[in-house]
Structure 1
Amino acid sequence: QDGKPPELKGPAAKKRDSLSAQPKPFQRIDFLVRDWQNFEDDEDLDAMEAEMDEYLQKVIAERDAADLKETRDQISACFEKVSNYHFTHPGFAVTKKKYTGDVGVIEPTFLMLLDRYCQRVFNRDNLVPKAVHGREITAAELGTYIKNYALMFEGGARFPEASTMLSATATANNTNATNITIGKYKEDMDKIAGTKATSYLKPGELEQLHRQVVEECIEMFDSMANFGDQRKILMARENAVRKINTDFEMYSKLNEGRNPLHGMEIYIVSTTIAVLAFVLRWIADSTCSSWSQTCRAGSDLFSHIYAVVILFMVIVGSTKAKELRDSVKRMKAAFDAVVGGGSAKKKE
C-alpha cells in the first residue's frame, strides 16, 4: 500500500475504455495539414516525412492536460492506423483571382510533396479492399456509408466527433445488412419460385423452403450488423423480416399461378353444364312424345343452354387462348406425372 487513494474513472475515461474494448471499425485516417511552414530549405523528402511522423506522435501522445484528450482517444480507438501529411503553401500565385490553373506557377516544394503523397496513396502495394469493422464492403455499400457521413455535416455548425462517425457507420452498416439480406432472399427464392421457375410446389413445401432461406438470411444479417446500438440493430432486423414476408406473398402467388388446376374452374364448370344440358336434351328427345309441347319446350331450353355454354367457352377461349394452352400443358404435365408415378410404383 502506497497510501494513494483508488483512481476513480470519470465518464470520459469510461467511454475511452468502452471504445478501446471494441474492434476498431475503420482502417486508416490521414490528416492533411496545409500551409506548413516548419520545413527547412535544405531538407529532402525523407527528412520532411520524418518530421511529419514526429509531429503526429506528439499530437496523439497521452497527456495529462484535458485539451482534446477525448478526441484523441476516440481517434485511436476508431482507426487501425493514423497518419498525417504536411503540405507547404502552394504559392501566392494560386490565390489570385486571375489564376488560370497553370501548374507551372505552383511552388515546387508543394508539387514535390503532393506527388510523393499521391504515390503513397495510390501505390499498388498500398491498395487494399475497403473494409468496415473487419468486413470488406462493395461499391454500393460504400455509397451508403458516404451518404450517412455527409449527413453528419448537414448542420454545419459543429464538427462531428469520432463517436458520431462511429454511430453513422453503424447506421449505414445496418442499412447495408438489410439490403444484402433482402437481396439474398430474393436471389434464392427466384430460383425456387420466381418468374423463371417452371415447377409447381405444394404450399407446405414452399413454406418450408421459405423458412430455410429466411434462417440463412437472418444468420447473414446477424453476422453483418454486429456493432452499434442494439435497439437500432433489432429495428433493422425486424424491417428486413417484414420485407421478406411481403416478398414471400408475391412468390406464393407466382407459385399458385403454376398450379396445374389454377384457372381451370371456369372451364370445368362450363363443360359440366354443357354436358348435363346435352344429356337432359337427349333424354327429353328419347322419352317424350314429339306432340308434347312441354317436351319440345324442355328440349329447346336444354339446346339453348347447351349452345350458350358452348358460345361462352368459345369466347373465353378466344380471349384467353394462351392461358388455355398453358392450362392444357399443365394438365398434361400433371397427368404424365401421375401416370409416371404409378408406373414407377408398379415396377418397384
Structure 2
Amino acid sequence: MPRNTSSRHRSKPSKGEAVQIVSSTGKHTFSLNHRALMKILLTKELKNVHVVLISVAGAFRGGKSFLLNFILHYLITNEIATSCSDTSDGFAWSVGSNRHTTGIWLWNKPIMYKLSNGQQIAILLMDTQGVFDSKSIIKECATIFALSTLLSSVQIYNLPGNIQDDDLQFLQVFTEYGRLALKETNQTPFQTLHILVRDWSYPYEYAYGKDGGQKLLEDCMKVNRNLAEEKKQLRIHLQSCYEKITCFLLPHPGFKVATDPKFRGELSDIEPEFVNHVQELLKYLIDEENLTPKKVNGRLITCRDLFHYFKVFMDIYADDQIPSPKTIFLATAEANHISAVMTARDYYNKEIEKICGPTRSYVSPDALLKEHRRIVESAIQCYKKIPKIGEQELGHSYLNNLKDQLQKELKMIMKRNEVKGRRLLTSFQPMTILFIIIFVIIAVQATGIIRLLLHHIFSSESLLIIIFVLLLVFVLKSSD
C-alpha cells in the first residue's frame, strides 16, 4: 500500500481533551466511566465508523504520555511539533520519579482519517497507567496492560533500554488467549504490536530507527535449539498472534530532559538526534499501511462495537483474580455476539421503517405482520453471516435473544401503526359529515316542490356559497 500522509486525509483540527474512562477504585481494582465513554464512541457521527485505536503501554515514567502528545499533534496538523505549546495541550505528563498517569485515558475527539480507498476511519489515542511502579500490585498492572492489548489495534509497547525476556513474558497470557482464538476461528487475534525501545545505548550494534529496531527484533525472536522450550513456545506463539510486530529504537532525549525539574517540553531542550528520530517514528506510525483498523475474528469493528468490548473486558477484570485465557476468550465471544445482534437489529429497523416508519402512512395489521416476518428472516440471515467466536457455546442463546428483541420491536411498531389508523379515521369523520350535508342539499334542490318553496331563499349562487363555506370550514378544521 503506498505511503500517504497528505493533510487532505485528515480532519480539520478540533479542540479536545484527555478524558479518564478507567479509574482506580482505591482497592486495587478499576471502574469504567460509562458516560464518558458513550460521549466519545456513541455519537451519531461515529458509532458506525470503523476505528483505529492506538494505545501506549509499558513501564511507568517511560515518557508514554509525552510521546502520545507528539502523535496527537501530528495526526491533527500533519506537522511535527516544534514548540512546547504544541505538546502541552494534550495528555497530561510531568517530570520526576513518581507515576503521573493513573487508569486509562482517551482523547475525546477522535481524528477522522480518509484512507486512499475513500473509506473514513476514526483514530483514537489511548494513554495507560505505567506498570511495575511501587504502588501497584500485579493484578492492577495486568488489568491495565490487558485492556490496552485487547482493545487496541495498534499497541506501542514502550520499553526502557532493551528488549528483555521479562517484557515478552508479560505478553504470554495473551498468546494463550490467541491460541484459543486461532484454534476456534483460524483468524489472527491481534493486529499490530510496535515495540518501542527508549534510551537505546548501542547504535553501533543496531542503528537508531526502524531498520535497526527490526534487526534487533529478529535476533530477539529467533528460535534456536539452545533456547529453553518455554521461551521457544513464547516466541512462536507471539508471532502467530499478531498480524505485524515491529521494533523502533530511540536514542536518549538528553541530560536536561532527564534531570531538570523545570523541563516543560521545549524542543530546544531535547537532543536534536532524538527529535529527528521521533519525526521518523511519527511518519512511520501514521503511514496508512500502519493505521490498522481494529478487527475481531477477521471483522472490522465500529466505535459502537468498541464500546461493548470495553464493557465486557472491564467486567471480567473487576474480580480480585486475574482472569484465565479461557475467560478472556469467552468474554470476547460474548461481545462479538452482542455486536452481531445489534447489526442484525439495525438491519431490521432500517427495513421496517421503509414499510411503516414515521413518514409512512398506515398499514393494515395483516400486511405489516407479513412484512415483519419477511424482514426478520433476512435479519436472522444477517446475524448468521457475521463471523463470530464461541458459536457453539453462545450462538443459540444470542439468536433467541435477537428474535425476542425483534418481537418487542414489532409490538411497539404495531402500537404506533394503530395510532396512525385512529388519526386516519378521525380525519375522515369531518369529511364524511361534509359529504352528507352536500348530498342532502343537492337532493333537496333536485326535488321540485321543495325547490319552489326555497326558490326565494336560496339561489344557485347561494348554494355554491354554502358549499364553499362548508369546504373552507372543513379545511380549517383538518389543519388543526
Under TM normalisation by the shorter chain, which class is it?
0.5 to 0.7
Please tell me whether residue 120 in structure 1 is matched to residue 284 in structure 2: yes
| CA 1:175–1:35: 2 relative to 1, 3 Å | farther
Percent identity, aligned pairs only, is 26
Opposite residue 412 of structure 2, the aligned amino acid is M
Shift of the alpha carbon at 1:69?
5.3
- Equivalent residue in structure 1 for 2:382, among 206, 214, 220: 220
Kindly tell me: are residues 45 and 78 of structure 1, through their superposed partners in 2, closer, same or farther at Cα, counting changes over 3 Å? closer
Is residue 2:406 matched to residue 1:241? no
CA distance in structure 2 between the aligned counterparts of 1:63 and 1:206, rounded to whole angstroms: 71
Q: After superposing the two structures, state which structure 1 stretch, 30-39 or 117-126, moved more.
A: 30-39
**8 Å contact kept, 2:206–2:213:** no
Q: Which residue of 1 is the match for residue 420 of structure 2?
A: 258
Q: Secondary structure at the match of 1:214?
A: helix
- What is the aligned partner in structure 2 of residue 232 from structure 1? 394
Equivalent AA in structure 2 for residue 211 of structure 1: R
Higher strand share: 2
Q: Which residue does 1:196 correspond to in 2?
A: 359
Partner Cα distance (2:396, 2:225) in 1: 37
Native 8 Å contact 1:35 1:87 kept in 2: yes
Equivalent pairs counted in the alignment come to: 257
- Choose the corresponding residue for 2:332, options 169, 177, 185: 169
Contact 1:34-1:87 within 8 A present in 2 as well: yes
Secondary structure in 2 aligned to 1:234? Answer: helix
For residue 79 of structure 1, the aligned residue among 242, 245, 248 is 242
Q: Determine if contact 1:52/1:85 at 8 Å carries over to the other structure.
A: no
CA distance in 2, matches of 1:91, 1:183: 54
Measure the CA separation in 2 of the matches of 1:18 and 1:61: 26
Higher relative CO (Cα under 8 Å, sequence separation at least 6) belongs to: 2
Q: Deviations over 1:148-185 (max 9, x none)?
A: 45556656975x78766554433332222122222221
| Partner residue in 2 for 1:184 | 347
Q: Note if contact 1:173-1:224 (Cα within 8 Å) is conserved in structure 2.
A: no
**1:35–1:234 Cα change, 3 Å:** farther
Cα 1:156–1:110 shift into 2, 3 Å: farther
- SS, match of residue 28 in structure 1: strand
Alignment check: 8 A CA contact 2:200 2:208 kept = no
Offset, 1:208: 1.9
Give the structure-1-normalised TM-score. Answer: 0.59
Q: 2:204 aligns with which of 40, 52, 66?
A: 40
Deviation at 1:246, TM superposition (A): 0.7
CA distance in 1, matches of 2:391, 2:226: 30
Residue 76 of structure 1 aligns to a residue whose secondary structure is helix
Please list, as runs of the form range in 1=range in 2, the aligned pairs for 1:123-134 lying within 5 A after superposition.
123-127=287-291, 129-134=293-298
Q: Which runs of 5+ in 1 are unaligned?
A: 1-11, 272-320, 327-348
**What are the Cα deviations for residues 263-317 of structure 1, in whole angstroms up to 9, with x where unaligned?**
77xx8xxx9xxxxxxxxxxxxxxxxxxxxxxxxxxxxxxxxxxxxxxxxxxxxxx
1:34/1:42 Cα in 2 relative to 1: closer, same or farther (>3 Å)?
closer
Alpha-carbon distance in structure 1 between the residues aligned to 2:371 and 2:258: 66
What is the distance in 2 between the residues matched to 1:185 and 1:62?
57
Q: Give the equivalent residue in structure 1 for 2:305.
A: 141
Structure with greater proportional helix content: 1
User: 3-state SS of the aligned residue for 1:38?
Assistant: coil
Matches within 5 A, 1:1-348: 16=179, 19=182, 22-40=186-204, 43=207, 45=209, 48-58=212-222, 65-67=228-230, 71-96=234-259, 97-127=261-291, 129-149=293-313, 158=322, 166-201=329-364, 203-228=365-390, 230-259=392-421
- 1:62 and 1:170 mapped to 2: Cα distance? 37
Change (3 A) 1:189 1:142: same
Deviations 1:125-168 (A, max 9, x none): 5445443322223333334334545556656975x787665544
1:182/1:122 Cα in 2 relative to 1: closer, same or farther (>3 Å)? same
Give the residue type in structure 1 aligned to 2:281.
Y
Q: Is the CA contact (8 Å cut-off) linking 1:78 and 1:166 kept in structure 2?
A: no
State the secondary structure of the residue aligned to 2:221. helix
AA of the residue aligned to 1:208 = K
* Structure of greater Rg: 1
Paired letter, 1:100 = R
Read off the aligned partner of 1:93 and give its amino acid letter.
K
TM-score by structure 2 length?
0.44
C-alpha distance in 2 between matches for 1:17 and 1:137: 20
Task: Give RMSD over aligned pairs.
Answer: 4.1
What's the offset of the Cα at 1:107?
3.5
Does the CA-based 8 Å contact 1:177-1:221 persist in structure 2? yes
In the TM superposition, residue 187 of structure 1 has moved relative to its aligned partner by 1.4
Relative to structure 1, is the Cα distance of residues 43 and 121 closer, same or farther in structure 2, using a 3 angstrom cutoff? closer
Give the match for residue 3 of structure 1. none
Q: Secondary structure at the match of 1:240?
A: helix
- Per-residue deviation, 1:250: 0.7
Q: Distance in 1 between matches of 2:267 and 2:388?
A: 47
- 1:32 is displaced (CA, Å) by 2.8
Alignment CA distance shift 1:168-1:190 (3 Å): same
| Structure 2: distance between partners of 1:164 and 1:103 | 46
